[in-house]
Amino acid sequence: MGRATKAVLAYSGGVDTSVCIPYLKNEFGVEGVITLAADLGQGDELEPIKQKALDSGAEESLVIDVRERFVNEFAFPAIQANAFYENRYPLSTALARPLIAQILVEAAEKYGADAIAHGCTGKGNDQVRFDVSITALNPKLKILAPAREWGMSREETIAYGEKCGIQSPVKKSSPYSLDRNLLGMAIEAGPLEDPWVEAPKDVYRLTKAIEDTPNEPEYVEIGFEKGIPVSLNGEFLGGVALITKLNEMSGNHGVGRIDMIENRLVGIKSREIYECPAMTVLIHAHRDLESLTLTADVTRYKRGIEETYSQLVYNGLWFSPLKGALDAFVQQTQERVTGIVRVKLFKGNAIMVGRQSANSLYSMDLATYGSEDVFDHKAAEGFIYIWGLPTRVWSEKLRQ
Ligand code: ARG
């Protein structure tokens, strides 16, 4: 493959990605490392991270705020696709990876780097998402993943860093592996590795325990335009503000906690805890609005598309031809998904209790059991005769 001379490194400010900086230079022979930290709404202070990269030997330290892009180009299409991996996980981490890959590639092209580096290990999904996305966007770039090769324990990693002048972490690191962004939090490892053990209360940051949530329900009206959430309680908000606010509101009622055993692409089952309050509410509300505005056959066909879409995103194929084709289908279906859904937040539940749309296909005249009924009851008889005809023929044959 040949040596890389300049690499752009996906940087978080943690021990592993900091140690990657000297490691790339010492062990991989990379001459210059440019770090890139993406602001995805993880709530970390990015100025100290920027400095830490320089202190660890980076020649340039980039910090890029991609929150709007994250929401508009990644979260919103996923909401339109009602994307829950294995029916439960709204892909909060998985959706961030192709975007990070995209800005890494953009930076590599801008700064004339010939490689991209990241700190993922060889056991997870994130390495797949990074590598495949980078390859899709620029197949000429080399990909360096030191942590996939170095085989160092945590203590050894810290010791390697200290030898290179990198400060060891001040506070004792938590036993959990955390990944956080605007769409939610993923928590793994430590005591959670035993699937029988209930997650301790203190692992949760974005959602209240049901024991501590308000005793009164709260209602929120979510406005959608062409399948995209645009307002909360009548107030039009940009994507980042809308998700931030809805995270707070629904997290306060304990909505969006997920505790599941999930199937990683690399064949491992892992126990995951997620907190995704806004995404959980938005996908359920969006699906509810679709039930009012889409025909039965489109809704049913879309379900299969949604399943495939979720798997593609989870498995790192955001930038792939099939994903592009599914996007086209989903976009076509969203033309008339405009309206408002009323959601009741209470004790860990987000219950859809009302929906309205100028494009509603619901007809009160047809549905009513009252005197305004316009449905032609007599027409049902002939319809049922034809509908049941194959069954009648089959049954008569059996009895001959
Ligand atoms: N299992 C989740 C996923 O594959 C979350 C991964 C979280 N990553 C982490 N470094 N803790 O999307």
Q: How far is 306 from 79, CA to CA, in rounded Å?
A: 10
Whole-structure pTM value: 0.95
Question: Catalytic annotation on 131?
Answer: no
Q: Annotated binding site for L-aspartate, which residues? A: 121, 125-126
Nearest atom within ligand 1 for CA of residue 94: 12
Nearest CA to ligand 1 atom 8: 179
Name 83's Cβ contacts closer than 8 Å, sequence gap at least 6: 90, 91, 283, 306, 309, 310, 313
Q: How far is the CA of 338 from the centre of ligand 1 (A)?
A: 33
Q: How far is 85 from 175, CA to CA, in rounded Å?
A: 26
Q: How far is the CA of 185 from the centre of ligand 1 (A)?
A: 9
Residue 174: pLDDT band with limits 50, 70, 90:
confident
Residue 76: pLDDT band with limits 50, 70, 90:
very high
- What is the pLDDT, as a whole number, of residue 371? 87
The answer, yes or no, to whether residue 364 has pLDDT greater than 90, is no
Taken in order of first residue, the domains within the chain and their CATH numbers are: 6-163 (3.40.50.620), 200-294+337-356 (3.90.1260.10), 368-399 (no CATH)
How many other C-beta atoms can be found within 10 angstroms of the C-beta atom of residue 316? 24
Question: Catalytic annotation on 126?
Answer: yes
The answer, yes or no, to whether residue 386 has pLDDT greater than 80, is yes
The answer, yes or no, to whether residue 123 has pLDDT greater than 60, is yes
- What is the pLDDT, as a whole number, of residue 171? 66
Task: Out of 148, 177, 291, 360, pick the active-site residue.
Answer: 177
Q: How far is the CA of 272 from the centre of ligand 1 (A)?
A: 8
Task: Out of 67, 69, 97, 257, pick the active-site residue.
Answer: 97
- CB of 181 closer than 6 angstroms to any ligand 1 atom: no
CA of residue 21 relative to chain centroid, distance: 28
- 142-179: string of b/e by CB count within 10 Å (b at 16+)? bbbbbbbebebeeeebbebbeeeebeeeeeeeeebeeb
Task: Out of 61, 126, 180, 336, pick the active-site residue.
Answer: 126
Residue 172: pLDDT band with limits 50, 70, 90:
low
